Structure 1
Amino acid sequence: MIDLHPDGARHAVIWLHGLGDSGAGLAPLVDALDLPTSLPVRHLLPDAPERPITINMGHKMRGWYDIRSFEQPEDRAVESHVRESAASIQGLLERLIAEGFAPERIVLAGFSQGGVIASFTALRCPQTLAGLLCMSTYLAAPDALLGEMSEAARSLPICYMHGIYDDVVALSMGWEAKNRLEAAGLALEWHEYPMRHEICRPQLADIRAWLLARLGA
């Protein structure tokens, strides 16, 4: 795990990478945001475990969960793996809190698979977090959301971002997540970009502005 911990940091962002990537692979995003030095923020970028991924012919790679197919919601994310990974990230949250970081100063963020785990964790987290940022992603176990969502999640600032031309996680899957969250009574900010399964420059400016608003700058 990469842990960027500047002196005086009172805020933290946990960044969760996509399938086959790593914390190091997502680290350039943190640099590109160019957050002000007057607001020192701790950035944690954990690595998913290596596991066989069915849609990649069973080859082993870093993945927060297995994907059997994108045809049915239950196949998009093996639920037992999702829950294991979410428990691991909740443990990382608890560690940050034990170190003195207030929950309301911690943001959970993720791209693709990482966004799935970020949302699954944040929506069930008993503490009120600073925000949830999900990029090019979808919901795991959507039918369980209403029964498992925490009371703290009802006031959670949420932002979803998706590429119109995403050929890995279709835009419709992002809209499905948006509709599920709104049906659960949650409000969220939504952004679309003329891009594929990636992060584009205009999106960086929006991420930066959203983070600064959440972290009180």
Structure 2
Amino acid sequence: MNLQIQELATGPAPTASLIVLHGLGADGSDFVPFCRELDFSGVPGLGADGGLRFVLPSAPVMPVSLNGGHEMPAWYDILPVPHSDAPSAPRREDEASLRRAQGWIDSLVQREIDRGIPSERIVLMGFSQGCAMTLMAGLRNPHRLAGLIALSGYLPLLDTTAAERH
């Protein structure tokens, strides 16, 4: 999968990367205003002498089962619990689409490493469905990352996290 990716940088030679994952139905451009508001001018290595690269991928458009199969940008499918229309009912997780998205995010991290950014200077950040993927992929990534920023989400595949964490 070739994800559409927008990038912004705070300087000419980025020394760190922030990969930002949007929520269900949104796209990478949703966080452009947020990224532009952050001021790293006084931070050594992230100001004018280096830079921070914002990587803003857009999830592919796919049918989302919970939304009646309506197609929208989504990192993974959300399955309703059989025989329940209650909004508060627990959800079944679509492991196949979660694992596929984990692979995309692992590839984004590797792409930054290949571009010269040490993994210890890469942060994953996500909102809502992007938060879920940040936690899932970030905790399982084979590289030591600088951090995870989780905004309004949960940890998918919780039962396998302890065995798969890195």
TM-score greater than 0.5 by the shorter chain: yes
CA RMSD of aligned residues (A): 1.5
Report the Cα distance in structure 2 between the residues aligned to 1:93 and 1:82, rounded to whole angstroms: 17
Q: Flag as ranges the 4+ runs of structure 1 deviating above 2 A.
A: 32-38, 69-73
Pairing of 1:5-84 with structure 2 (within 5 A): 5=9, 6-36=11-41, 39=46, 40-69=51-80, 71-73=89-91, 75=92, 77-84=93-100
Q: Which residue of 1 aligns with 2:6?
A: 2
Alignment partner of 1:140: what SS? coil
TM-score with structure 1 setting the length = 0.65
Matches within 5 A, 1:1-217: 1-5=5-9, 6-36=11-41, 39=46, 40-69=51-80, 71-73=89-91, 75=92, 77-150=93-166
How far apart, CA to CA, are the structure 2 residues paired with 1:126 and 1:92? Answer: 13
How many angstroms apart in 1 are the aligned matches of 2:90 and 2:164?
A: 21
Secondary structure of the 2:58 match is coil
Percent identity for Structure 1 against Structure 2? 37
1: CA distance between counterparts of 2:156 and 2:122?
22
Letter in 1 for 2:37: A
- Contiguous gaps of at least 5 residues in structure 2: 81-87
Distance 2:161 2:89 in 1: 20
**SS of aligned partner of 2:109:** helix
Cα deviation 1:110-141 (Å, max 9, x = unaligned): 00000111111110112111000010000111
SS at 2:25's partner residue? coil
Structure 1 portions without partners, runs of 5+: 151-217
User: Greater share of strand residues, 1 or 2?
Assistant: 2
Higher RCO by CA contacts (8 Å cutoff, separation 6 or greater): 2
Aligned to 2:84: none
Q: TM-score, normalised by structure 2?
A: 0.84
Q: Hey, what's the Cα distance between the residues in 1 that align with 2:128 and 2:153?
A: 4
Give the Cα–Cα distance (whole angstroms) in 2 for the partners of residues 80 and 26 of structure 1: 27
Alpha-carbon distance between aligned partners in 1 of 2:55 and 2:135, rounded to the nearest angstrom: 16
| Structure whose residues are more often helix by fraction | 1
